[in-house]
Structure 1
Amino acid sequence: MSAPRTGSVPERLIAAATALFADKGFDRVAVQEVVDRAGVTKGAMYHYFGSKDDLLGEIYGRVLRMQAERLEKIADGGGPVADRLRDAAADVVVTSIANFDQARVFFRSVDHLAQDKQREVRAERRRYHERFRALIEEGQGAGVFRADVSADLTVHYFFGSVHHLGTWYDSSGALDAEQVGAGFADLLLRSVLT
């Protein structure tokens, strides 16, 4: 494996850790492998990240923060709630696929994090899901979405499918990210519209 020798030290460490964790699994990668691949010293790594857990948390945290910002813009963007929910649903799929290694590494490895780190990351993800759920509740309140199925159940159903992408999606397959995103969004909308 060639080392990513360009970019800032944190970026190189994140890139190296993502590639190694995706290839070998979080629990099978030593810190020394990460720093060797990034072309930095252990001291440099520990200057930016306190542990391998911190690297894993940051790998997924960056994706989640970006997705949360995008969700806020979509949710607050105005227009019919059904359009905003469709856009939000498609966006989380497309951005998950665009950051496929990072998302896949996280979902395969989250249980290896220390308990406090797991709680932190899961709390961030829960905030994202709550904002998504608020769109569903808005549509239910407006009579646009079915009220006979709880918004919580809808969110769990949808994101269970999104989190499962890492087990089947293949970028060389028949569907690109936009097609998968549109398909997931369409399936969600058809299930919630009155």
Structure 2
Amino acid sequence: MKHSQVAEDVIRAAVQLFASRGYANTSVQEIVDAAGVTKGAMYHYFESKDDLLFGIYDTVLSLQKTHLDAIISAGGEVDEVLRAVCVDVLETSIEYLAEGTVFFRSMDMLSEPRRKEVVRRRRAYNDEFAALVKQGQNEGKYREDIPLAVLIAHFFSDVHYLSYWYSEGKPEDRTLAAVQITDLFMSSLRRPDVHNGSPGDDASLARHDAR
């Protein structure tokens, strides 16, 4: 998706309208009127309303994948890498909470090719995340008495449930919530017969306290 102020204005207007009126009940004309642009300007960046709905989530997908690749490339102990990934996906999901909420409510209305593209990209992210958990299992750090798929679902269910309870009072609340949820997940991964606190645990909280 090409980025410009016009595209950002259109997406912002679409998110607000889709949230209040629903995707099916919102027309392209209402979107361009709210964004203060012409249909021609919108169609320069989005081929259709379907393309616009995909574009709303594309920003989040692309950002999280870029961050994931950068964190993994930086290397480090699996605890530190996985913790950084968890905090990032939570923080970015909160930052784009409205976009994510609108998308998941309307995803079933996407065209089949677009829906398959979203599934493919989310699965690619999931596979890299799962590989980190598997690495921790292979190193004897994480439990293996629970299926890997269940462990992964446990974390991402918290991510997807954010819109039902999260309300930001201060900007720093975003990081605090991300760290706390990550702490709970990392604790749940530990083998019951091993007590090996991660150096990343104290470090992440120290970084938050210093803000």
- CA apart distance, 1:161: 1.6
1:128 equivalent to 2:125? Answer yes
The ranges of structure 1 where at least 4 consecutive aligned residues each deviate by more than 4 angstroms after the TM superposition are none
Q: In 2, distance between residues paired with 1:131 and 1:56?
A: 25
Give the whole-Å Cα distance in 2 for the aligned partners of 1:72 and 1:127. Answer: 11
Structure 2 residue ranges without an equivalent (≥5)? 192-211
Partner-residue secondary structure (3-state), 1:86: helix
Provide the C-alpha distance between the structure 1 equivalents of 2:13 and 2:115, rounded to a whole number of angstroms.
22
- Cα pair distance change 1:66/1:47, threshold 3 Å: same
Query: Taking structure 2 as the reference length, what is the TM-score of the superposition?
Result: 0.83
- 1:33 Cα deviation after fit: 0.8
Show CA shifts across 1:143-166 (max 9, x none): 111122222221112111211111
Q: TM-score, normalised by structure 1?
A: 0.89
Corresponding residue of 1:57: 54
The one-letter amino acid paired with 2:76 is: G
For 1:97, the aligned partner's letter is I
After TM superposition, give the deviation of residue 188 of structure 1 in Å. Answer: 1.0
Correspondences of 1:1-194 after superposition (within 5 Å): 8-172=5-169, 176-194=173-191
Aligned residue for 1:3?
A: none
Count residues with an aligned counterpart: 187
Separation of aligned partners in 2, 1:171 and 1:29: 28
1:169 maps to a residue whose letter is Y
Q: Alignment identity in percent?
A: 43
- Greater CA deviation, 100-109 or 71-80? 71-80
More RCO (CA 8 Å, sep 6+): 1
- CA shift for structure 1 position 51: 1.0
Give the match for residue 194 of structure 2: none
Q: Which moved more, 1:17-26 or 1:153-162?
A: 17-26
Structure 1 unaligned regions, length at least 5:
1-6
After TM superposition, give the deviation of residue 47 of structure 1 in Å: 2.4
User: CA offset at residue 28 of structure 1?
Assistant: 2.0
- CA–CA distance in structure 2, aligned partners of residues 33 and 25 of structure 1: 12
Counterparts of 1:138 and 1:77, CA distance in 2:
16
Structure 1 CA distance, aligned partners of 2:112 and 2:187? Answer: 38
Superposed CA RMSD in Å reads: 1.7
Per-residue Cα deviation, 1:24-75 (whole angstroms, up to 9, x for no partner)? 2222211111111122221222222111111111111111110111111222
Distance 2:84 2:93 in 1: 14
Take 2:20 and 2:148, find their aligned partners in 1: how far apart are those partners? 36
Q: Is the 8 A contact 1:75 1:135 kept in 2?
A: no
- What do residues 117-169 of structure 1 show as CA deviations (whole Å, max 9, x unaligned)? 11111111111111111110111111111122222221112111211111221
